[in-house]
Structure 1
Amino acid sequence: MTKDKRVTSYDVAREAGVSQSAVSRVFRPGLSVSKKTREKVMTTANKMGYRPNAIARMLITKQSGMVAVIVSSRANVNYPEVLSQVSKQLAARNKRVLLFTLDNAEGGDELFEQIWTFQVDGVIALAAHFDHNSLDKFKEHKIPVVLYNRNVPDALANTVCCNHELGIKQLVNELKLNQPKNYLVISGPEDSDVATERREIALKQLEKHGEQQVSVLYGDYSYQSGRDCLAQWLKSNPAPDAIICSNDIMAVGVIDEAREHHNIDVPNDMSVVGFDGVSSSSWFNYQITTIKQPLEQLTKAAVDMLLEHIENPDSPPETRVITGTLIEGNSVKRP
């Protein structure tokens, strides 16, 4: 064999004295092979410098081994950790991540064309708005999709979600301990599935408690939008007794704006709650009452669900809801 010739699985099989199919089984995770054969093949492969050909494997298995992960630039600060967890868990299943960004519906068609070109095995949408039409396109191309921490109302879609309803109910109950007279809800963007769900649940819970004085402002999940929303409100209104923020980062912005520019004490003058449980929410100056999302459980469920639907494409869509943890911080006044 010349030095320039690529070593093949047949060369390894010949040298190790085993069949070519035995070599293939050794390099395909999950397939049965004896310990003795595995050691013999790996020793020979390392000596000969053999590495399996991913393209050839794709032709055999009819799978690319790639999963598209779609995120948005508006993703909250948890998402780098979420992406890391997803990548790690997919790598353990011999899958690789192709990362795409989608910030608005207008860019959807171009992004979808890229995804079709790469022939990915499946898609996990971490922080992108998907509607019925988007989901239908993936069905047409027979590509399974899992929506992470979001729902598309009335759509038959695979979803993995934190229990927003229970979480926000717990936050409202925390606020009710001090019997606030008026509330301000600072929502995420109107076109965000998660923001819409959290906002509607909060309004429903407050209505259920008979609260009449409830107002809504819209931020974009950012720290500055939390500050801007409170500043806008205080131009023509007194400080609310309680503020429900769609995420922790806006809650941090609200607290800084209240203390720095308006001499409002949190929590004695105004209570503030967030959602997500990001690391900054527990910093000494904030210690926000929030719901900590179970990231490891959510990402594992998303990966498990996607791989199940890759292997069994006719499986019916499912939803898995995982409960977060209430963090009782110091941003809520207690009686």
Structure 2
Amino acid sequence: MAHERVTSIDVARLAGVSRSAVSRVFTPGASVSAHTAEKVRDAAEKLGYRPNVLARSLITGRSRMIGLVVAYLDNYFYPEALEKLSNALQAEGYHVLIFMASQTAGNIDTVLEEILDYQVDGIIMASVALSSELTARCQAAGVPVMLFNRAQDDAGISAVTSDNRAGGRAVARFLLDGGHKRFGHIAGWEGASTQRDREQGFADGLGEAGIDRYDREVGNFQIDEARAAARRMFDRPDRPDAVFAANDHMAFAVMDVLRYELGLSVPGDVSVVGFDDVPPASWPAYDLTTVRQRANLMVERTVATLLKMIEQPGARAEQHVLPAPLVVRGSARIPEGWDT
């Protein structure tokens, strides 16, 4: 026998309050006295009442849902960052819908259509680029968009990134100070602003010391491709004595190849530096020197900026570039006199 659904009217009757009072208790940010809230929640618990979020969204015009798009989760940085984003948004009374996308424009178009069908209040694109056409479609739908750990040459799109260029330059200076002479770079996916800016900073840092060339292979932010890239790079007589991988995920793969396939010492024969400072970077097995992305601060800025755009339609886009400090550990030769 089917049970009748408990309604807000039932809760209001048992609690001895108005239906609107019940609605306010279950609406994040609404004004209601502590006494009333306690009575309503007690009644709701006794009756087994759950507020109908979808029905409320029809009344308020707000779904209190955020679409979160990510291209891949292999990199340790993203599962941790997505967990922090989800927790921060839930603390603000929002529900998070996670969508997986590839880097192809057609796939992102399809995913975006799905997200907009859910009537989300905002969208966060993590590790995914956004074309001008997709931006226009989101704007036409009145849905603000944030880029997380990506940047674009469009002042109309809000974004939060680390200072990837400064981080790459810091890596170059550190390796130069360590006395290295031959440099290699394992690049990530070349369509990513993170890859572009990290390598540009690295090249700038080397250039400032009069070095205008370095060995380069592409690992596309993938472990298998990074391993293959390391094998190609070191299958040469003039192989590098220092390698900068565009993220920690690839740096781990490079270290494994150098140590366990080629029998080289890290950092005795080759110094290796990554970017992100994911948890395994501090494990004794890797002890990776890397550039830290401050995930907590990135999440804080992302959520604050997106909520501002949701609450203040027409607010100007904001681009936040956050400091990315070098974290010195044992995978790279430490320059004499370096203060760790």
What band does the TM-score fall into relative to the shorter chain?
over 0.9
Mapped contact 2:168–2:200 kept (Cα < 8 A)? no
Query: Post-superposition shift, 1:315?
Result: 0.4
Q: Work out whether 1:65 is the aligned partner of 2:45.
A: no
Distance 1:317 1:237 in 2: 50
Aligned to 1:56: 55
Alignment of 1:120-159 (within 5 A): 120-159=120-159
Q: Work out whether 1:261 is the aligned partner of 2:226.
A: no
Mapped contact 1:144–1:310 kept (Cα < 8 A)? yes
Mapped contact 2:183–2:241 kept (Cα < 8 A)? yes
Deviations 1:128-155, CA, capped at 9 Å, x for gaps: 1223222222112211111001101234
Aligned to 1:224: 224
Mapped contact 1:16–1:44 kept (Cα < 8 A)? yes
Query: Post-superposition shift, 1:109?
Result: 2.1
Aligned to 2:199: 199
Alignment of 1:288-307 (within 5 A): 288-307=288-307
Mapped contact 1:69–1:125 kept (Cα < 8 A)? yes
Query: Post-superposition shift, 1:125?
Result: 0.8
Q: Which deviates more from structure 2 when the two are superposed, residues 13-22 or residues 142-151?
A: 13-22
Distance 2:324 2:233 in 1: 30
TM-score normalised by structure 2 residue count: 0.92
Query: Post-superposition shift, 1:123?
Result: 0.6
Sequence identity percentage: 35
Mapped contact 1:181–1:213 kept (Cα < 8 A)? no
Paired residues in the alignment total 334
Deviations 1:157-204, CA, capped at 9 Å, x for gaps: 111112223322322221121232221111101122321221222212
Distance 1:36 1:322 in 2: 43
Counterpart code for 2:300: K
Deviations 1:33-92, CA, capped at 9 Å, x for gaps: 111111122222222222211122101210112111111126522211111111111222
Query: Post-superposition shift, 1:316?
Result: 0.2
Distance 1:88 1:94 in 2: 10
Residue segments in structure 2 that go unaligned for 5+ positions in a row: none
Distance 1:328 1:219 in 2: 23
Q: Work out whether 1:25 is the aligned partner of 2:24.
A: yes
Report the RMSD for the aligned CA atoms in angstroms. Answer: 2.0
Aligned to 1:249: 249
Q: Which deviates more from structure 2 when the two are superposed, residues 4-13 or residues 16-25?
A: 4-13
Query: Post-superposition shift, 1:305?
Result: 1.5
Distance 2:289 2:44 in 1: 55
Mapped contact 1:174–1:332 kept (Cα < 8 A)? no
Aligned to 1:15: 14
Q: Secondary structure at the match of 1:67?
A: strand
Distance 1:212 1:117 in 2: 50
Aligned to 1:77: 76
Q: Secondary structure at the match of 1:137?
A: helix
Distance 1:266 1:41 in 2: 63
Mapped contact 1:132–1:155 kept (Cα < 8 A)? no
Q: Which deviates more from structure 2 when the two are superposed, residues 160-169 or residues 92-101?
A: 160-169
Q: Which deviates more from structure 2 when the two are superposed, residues 144-153 or residues 192-201?
A: 192-201
Query: Post-superposition shift, 1:237?
Result: 4.0
Counterpart code for 1:278: V
Q: Secondary structure at the match of 2:194?
A: helix
Distance 1:71 1:122 in 2: 15
Q: Which deviates more from structure 2 when the two are superposed, residues 305-314 or residues 206-215?
A: 206-215
Alignment of 1:95-110 (within 5 A): 95-103=94-102, 104-110=104-110
Q: Secondary structure at the match of 1:69?
A: strand
Distance 2:284 2:77 in 1: 19
Mapped contact 2:267–2:330 kept (Cα < 8 A)? yes
Aligned to 1:6: 5
Alignment of 1:142-181 (within 5 A): 142-181=142-181
Aligned to 2:89: 90
Q: Secondary structure at the match of 2:159?
A: strand
Say if 1:11 and 1:286 are closer, same or farther in 2 by CA, change over 3 A: closer
Alignment of 1:114-125 (within 5 A): 114-125=114-125
Distance 1:47 1:282 in 2: 49
Distance 2:106 2:14 in 1: 55
Q: Which deviates more from structure 2 when the two are superposed, residues 183-192 or residues 206-215?
A: 206-215
Q: Secondary structure at the match of 1:217?
A: strand
Distance 2:271 2:133 in 1: 41
Counterpart code for 2:264: I
Structure 1 moving runs of 4+ over 3 Å: none
Distance 2:74 2:329 in 1: 24
Residue segments in structure 1 that go unaligned for 5+ positions in a row: none
Distance 1:60 1:53 in 2: 11
